[in-house]
Structure 1
Amino acid sequence: IDIMGKLSFVVADANKLRFAPIVKTTEPGIYELRGTVHDEKFDTFVWTPFNFEGFYYNIDDNVSTESLVIEKLNDRTIDDKMLVYSTKPARVEFEHKGWGNYEVVGFMAEKYFAGYPENTFGNSKGVSVLSDRILSKVLIDDDNKKSLFTGSLLALENGYSLKAAEVDVNGEKVLFELYKDGKLVDSGVVSKNGDYIYKADIGGAENVPVIAVHVSTVFRSSETDAVFVEGIFQISEDYLRVSQGDSFGKMEVSSISSSGITMKNEDSISLSKGDVIDLMGNVKFRVADASVLRFYPFVEIKTETGDQLNIEMPDALIAGRQAEILVTARNVSVGGVEVFVGTTSIGTTEYNGKLTFTPHREGSFTVTASRTGYVSGSKEVDVVAEGAQKLLLSVSPATVREGDQISIKVTDSVDKQPVAGADVYFGGKKIDKQTDANGTISHWVTTPGTYTINATKTGYEEGETVIEVLESVAQFTFSDLTVEPASVEAGTPVKIRVNVVNSGNVAGESKVELLVNNKSVDSKNVTLSPSESTAVEFSHTEDKAGTYTVEVGGLNKSYEVTEKAPFFSGIATLGILATAFVLLRKRRTD
């Protein structure tokens, strides 16, 4: 439930009311999930998912597994063995309820698979990968209904895809082919209301079901064959091995068994003012830069900016006639993309980015393309009856700003030919002229906002499109970030350079901020006219050895800082050279 801005309520899928406020993290960026603050007022020594959002929690089943406890705090110091992290496996329901339960465990604020109970996926014996001292990430657990046409692919994770290769003549069974990175690795015949299971070895655990797909319906007709999937589960074959005595950051594994994992700090931890302390994995402490001790645990999650998916297909389709959809990103075809018409999945694109389907209902629909790692794309289409003509509109330029003159072109939906003499309405107001012989008309836009453009003509269905008129602004883009040299001794500065260009249509000023390891260390202001560019330079010095990541304008580069060579080594070298020189001269004299 959207509350305001990025704040929402998530409500448990359960009979008992449970809900919690969350912050949406779908937009690209870095988000901090933190726990309750320890200070004079809130004397917090224990963190669980109920006061630290970073820890794993399943709100539907009310399952939590992780806790972090400070058993003793000595002023600003946590003595060794006094910070205790523990986690234990717990059973949660599969999203597809017919499969029952599986075991999950949160570990260092991430969700891992721990095992299967008895009689899961046909195994009479249970499976516990935690007993083998390994953990595997849960990649997919959903029960969304998806439709696969014969020959189409269902995209999974880790390079896997499942192909509905063939439906039997009775429409009762489907032949599945499983591919990994384009190579066939398994196949199997599944009846309706049956499960496709793929097993693999994970560490010391043998024949572990790593992929499960439930087939709810198999459909066969003279026109098309389809399979409806309602339940997908996948775990990673790449595992994390955990053994007693292993170190993760400042924590050491003190015990591990099928009942859980416990870790304690190896050495004392100093909570110095302004410090960010890496505890384990992505879990950290942030300490206030203040005389009064205040700190909290947190994890950072980064939502990357993926490539934008683009849908190429006709704007108008004819009911009962097969249509082709092409999905691309950066002008390259993208396979494994799930495509929806409205809320119904119609399948997944092939390796060439194409998918065919036949619409049967007339009306206006939103076609959506979605794949993990990409920004979803959408397109509005109309489905019309055989023989019907609809007006289609296109607007150029693609990006419209206040003060621009736009060109509106009107074509028919069947032959895509220009339509002359059409009336065009911009924001509900009729434009004085009609479209010319080329089906075009021009119009000046003066005010930012979202506008609907309509076109009408006797004998055609009305056409419509929506455009956004942007405000005239300065837009600063960054490129060619360099850090020189790539490796320096501690105390030696590096030169950081980045190019900045104003790609907007008005002059403006921008603050160019330099981040090193996610901390702001410097900034400069630049003022540029439209299309003007400049180079911005910084000089930065680090006194400690390590790897440092520089970020400017969303670009980043890393460089190495090495230990400074001891002064005496240089003196010793000079001494050796001087002694050699004296001996050489003496030998020549003798």
Structure 2
Amino acid sequence: TQKIGSKKDVPIIIVHVESVFHGRETDAAFIRGVFQISENPLEVKSGDEYGIMEVKSKSGGIRMENTEEVVDLEAGDIIDVMGEIRFEVADDPDNLRYYPFITVDVEEESASTLKINAPATAMERDLITIQVTTGTDEIILGADVEFDGENIGTTDSNGEITHTLARVGTSTINATKVGYESASKTITVEEYVETQLRIESVSEILQTEEFELTVTVGGEPLSGASILVDNSSVGTTDASGRFNYTFPASGSHTVKAEKTGYIAAEKTINVIKPYSKFEATAFNITPVNVTLKEPVAITAKITNTGNIRGEDEVELKINGTAVDSRNLTLEPGEETSVNFTFVESKSPGTYYAEILNKGGEFHVEKKPMGWLLYAGIATVIGLIVVYLVTMRPGFGTPGTGTGGVGSTRDKLALKLSQLKMKVKK
């Protein structure tokens, strides 16, 4: 197709006239073929008739013949061949001359006349684009545009200006520019009707839960809206505008609602993978300083910070080695306490206790000796000193008022024996 004047998409048809015969009684024209390139081709079958032409064969090309045995070509005649194709014969009785043609009515438009391109019908609140060109489609920059008598600005480099419709009814657009003939156009502005769809739903959901949405327009539920998840159709809304769906995978998903005549809506839904997780939220060791064989109480509060019910074994570890455990079952957000007792009987030192993500140190020392043991040791040492002193030569001789060495030794032995008995007790 081609543009002829202001008419666009005028079909161009080529007729191949193979030969022309002129006789004393008969004149004839032989058409080899009719050609047209079209975006919507017509299916042609043998036997189809188009005007005076009939399709005879499609093998190796379309062959058509006139259905009438004789086609008179007289001077000045216009003969219908098929469709809008005609032959016009020259007005010359002495020489046969003719040509095929198609008649197209073209309105002549001036290059100096402005033209307004705008929608004939629009809706209140719509933002419309107004374009100003010449009659030959030349873009006009700087044309003054009025809407219902009010100047709304001048056109840009694309010959365009936008305007938001605020009043229902019939409105007039005027365009003017020095050196050009002005233009005017009337449009109809209809009452505003809500066409923007909305998706009402949660924005985050567990993968194991059923997702429910409601599609509304102007606050009212809309039935028959198509629902797409990640650009794949999954169904339509029911009479209440609702739709239910279970996501097959976790992650971020795009949900879209659309329906003919409405502006589509989209919403991103975060689908969470189900899990349970136990964490220690409090931890305590009592006491933190003990002696060998003295028990240590280790407690913790355990919370399920996941999003589903979970079962897990909670271990008490001492210096990284599990020494005890408890089996727990908790609902999401549920909390419970665990209590452990630990006794170290062999090795003093510093120990690190931990339950899940919490931990702390406690110290184990040797058990101290009692006061009686210390007193006994001191007494023994004292007696030994006395013994050594009394054994010196000259100590305890007659006339000094004291007993002999033997008597003193016996007394010392008696004291040591009594001390041993006390220590044993």
TM-score by length of 1: 0.24
Q: Over alpha carbons, which structure has the higher Rg?
A: 2
Answer 1 or 2: which has greater helix percent. Answer: 2
Point out which structure has higher relative CO (alpha carbons under 8 A, 6+ apart).
1
